Amino acid sequence: MSRKLLALILAAGKGTRFKSEKIKVLHNLLNKPMVQWVVESIQRLKPEKIYVIVGYQKENVMHAIENDGIEFIIQKEQLGTGHAVLAAYDVLRSDEDKDLLVINGDLPLIQTKTIRLFLNYHRKQGNSLSFMTADLEDPTGFGRLIRTEDGILSIIEEKDATPAQRKLKQANVGIYLFKVKDLLETIKRLDNKNIKAEYYLTDMIEIMGRAQKKAGPFKIESIGEIIGVNDRMELARAVDVLRLRKISELTAQGVTILDPSSVWIDHDVHIGSDTTVYPFVIIEGRSSVGHNCVIYPSSHIFQSKIGDDVRILPSSVIEESTIGKGAQIGPFTHLRPKTVIHSGARVGNFVEMKNTVFGRGAKAGHLSYLGDAEIGDEVNIGAGTITCNYDGIKKNRTIIEENAFIGSGTELVAPVKIGKRSYIGAGSTITKDVSSESLAVARSRQIEKAGWARRKQKIKNQK
């Protein structure tokens, strides 16, 4: 039986290089906070417990992490990564026989399978401390692995390193595994005699060596996983890695992405097979798109559910809405929150809907605003129809029953109800309910004055 595993995520530091009012680990990558990415890759290892060290803006961090099974430990002052682990000292005392994974909260790209390899190495070696390293072409900013004169391994931080040490390529990643007992025995030996006057967790490597305890590096090859996100340029690079990872996952599942360089799909989005996504499409939040759909260029879909066989024509915006099987949306459609489009419906150019249910096979082809409305199956909405849902105080509902036909340019002053199979004459302003199977026309009658223009012209000519 291998020892049980605990995990500790360091998320107390401000992250000054972000130049932000918000703590670094709460900056988003594909709509998910940086520290949440770390939490999820650790959760997949199923450790017995996950601790998160919080300090700067701790309430916000505690609030942002989806925390089933997570315990927070407060580091009152942020005096360095070693000091952060020290904050867990008392909590760890009852777990001496376990392993502890310590990970910086700014490593959102690390994959569970890589940590698993690291854990296997640690257990096989029987190390007191294992630390992950990578050989980097440009290791600027990372601590470097060195060997002291008496042959003991050590990590020197960039700021404390000599020019010769800075040339070394083996970088410290910021992920460690300790035997808890050995950690507790030695961690109080940390000091802050360095340029930053911080307690460096990295000094534990030399401390272990001097205490005759085994400390060893585990070198990883997949260096794309270890960008430590310290500033906004590194954030952008990390986002790009995650974005492409998501796209390759989707293509492996049978989704066609025509231009991976311009498409953005959030981590929590599901897309069915045989769906095609054109360039410049953005799909955000917990959205899902069905099987065999086509999403044409430049649409933005947020937190929405789209069924099978749906076509989204170019430049549509779909927020918090649901679209049924076989419907067609766009081009230039705007579906605002709480809109439900039932199967086979068509919504076209410059149609805006909000909090509206649109029935099976119903059509609204052009230039309409439908808000707070319930529209039945097979209803036809003519061009330029407007639901006047707001009376200046509250929002009112419009109900249009199945198979009704709303002529072009109609204004429906809510609350109002149009009965099934009724017709509304074009250009009507409807203020009263219309019963089923009727025709309602509400506009002034047309008058014609024969020869009026001819007479007008004559008068002009006399002047």
Q: In the block, which residue shows the tokens 């199956």? A: 377
Q: Which is nearer to Ca ion, 38 or 406 (CB)?
A: 38
Q: How far is the CB of 244 from ligand UD1 (least distance, A)?
A: 21
Closest of 95, 90, 80 to residue 204, by C-alpha? 80
Strand 373-375 relative to strand 357-358: parallel, antiparallel, unpaired? Answer: parallel
Cβ count near 406 (within 10 Å): 26
DSSP for 4-24 reads PEEEEEE-----GGG--SS-G
**Taking CB under 6 A as the rule, does residue 157 contact ligand UD1?**
yes
Interactions with ligand UD1, residue window 117-156 (CB under 6 A): 142-143, 155
105 is a site residue for ligand UD1 (CB under 6 A): yes
Query: Measured from the CB of residue 87, what is the shortest distance to ligand UD1 in angstroms?
Result: 8
Name the strand (E) or helix (H) holding 132: strand 129-135
Binding-site string for ligand UD1 from residue 338 to residue 377, where x marks contact by CB under 6 A and - marks none: ----------------------------------------
Residue 236 neighbours by CB distance under 10 Å: 11
**225 makes contact with ligand UD1 (CB under 6 A):** no
Name the site residues for Ca ion (rule: CB under 5 A): 106, 228, 230
Distance CA 384, CA 399 (A): 17
Q: Could you say which of 114, 130, 202, 387 contacts ligand UD1 (CB under 6 A)?
A: 202
> Under DSSP, is residue 345 helix (H, G, I), strand (E, B) or coil?
coil
Q: Considering beta carbons, is residue 217 or 228 the nearer one to Ca ion?
A: 228
Which one of 5, 86, 101, 106 is in contact with ligand UD1 (CB under 6 A)? 106
Q: Which does 200 bind (CB under 5 to 8 A by kind): Ca ion, ligand UD1, none?
A: ligand UD1
- At closest approach, how far in Å is the CB of 271 from ligand UD1? 32
List the single partner that 287 binds among ligand UD1, Ca ion, none, CB under 5 to 8 Å by kind.
none
Chain position whose Cβ is nearest to ligand UD1: 143
x/- mask, ligand UD1, residues 63-92, rule CB under 6 A, reads ------------x--xxxx-xx--------
The tokens for 28 are 């988003």
Catalytic residue among 267, 270, 291, 366: 366
CB-wise, 53 or 383, nearer to ligand UD1?
Answer: 53
Under the binding rule (CB under 6 A), the answer on residue 201 touching ligand UD1 is yes
Our finding on whether 12 is near ligand UD1 (CB under 6 A) is: yes
Q: Which stretch binds ligand UD1 (CB under 6 A): 197-205, 343-351, 370-378, 411-419?
A: 197-205
Q: How large is the angle between the packed helices 112-125 and 34-43, nearest 10 degrees?
A: 50
How far is it, in rounded angstroms, from Cα 36 to Cα 225?
16
Asked if 27 is part of the footprint of ligand UD1 (rule: CB under 6 A), the reply reads no
Distant-in-sequence contacts of 181-184, Cβ < 8 A, 24+ apart: 181/96, 181/97, 182/128, 182/129, 182/208, 182/211, 182/213, 183/85, 183/92, 183/100, 183/128, 183/129, 184/89, 184/92, 184/93, 184/96
Angle at 183 between CA 224 and CA 46, to 5 degrees: 55
Answer yes or no whether residue 53 interacts with ligand UD1 by CB under 6 A. Answer: yes
Chosen from Ca ion, ligand UD1, none, partner binding at 84 (C-beta under 5 to 8 Å by type): ligand UD1
Measure the CA–CA gap between 14 and 77, rounded to whole angstroms: 11
Minimum CB distance to ligand UD1 smaller for 81 or for 355: 81
Q: Which is nearer to ligand UD1, 85 or 440 (CB)?
A: 85
Decide if 334 is catalytic: no
User: Smallest distance from the beta carbon of 64 to Ca ion, in angstroms?
Assistant: 19
Of 278, 283, 285, nearest to 261 by C-alpha is 278
CA 338 from centre of chain: 20
Q: How far is residue 39's CA from residue 42's CA, in Å, rounded to a whole number?
A: 5
Any contact of residue 176 with ligand UD1 (CB under 6 A)?
no
Both tokens of 333, joined, read: 């459609």
Minimum CB distance to ligand UD1, residue 234 (Å):
10
* CB within 8 Å of 39: residues ≥ 6 apart: 9, 50, 52, 65, 66, 70
Q: Does 187 bind ligand UD1 (CB under 6 A)?
A: no
Is residue 190 near ligand UD1 by the rule CB under 6 A? no
220 within 8 A of 226, measured Cβ to Cβ: yes
- Residue 180 exposure: Cα atoms within 13 Å on the Cβ side: 20
The smaller minimum CB distance to Ca ion, of residues 230 and 343, is found at 230
432-451: contacts with ligand UD1 (CB under 6 A): none
60 binds ligand UD1 (CB under 6 A): no
Q: Does 11 engage in binding with ligand UD1 (CB under 6 A)? A: yes
- By rule CB under 6 A, what count of residues binds ligand UD1? 29
Residue 255 in 3-state DSSP? coil
Q: For residue 265, which phi and psi values (nearest 5 degrees)?
A: -130, 120
Shortest distance, position 153 Cβ to ligand UD1, whole Å: 13
Catalytic positions are 366
Residues binding ligand UD1 (CB under 6 A)? 10-13, 25, 53, 75, 78-81, 83-84, 104-106, 142-143, 155, 157, 171-174, 200-202, 228, 230
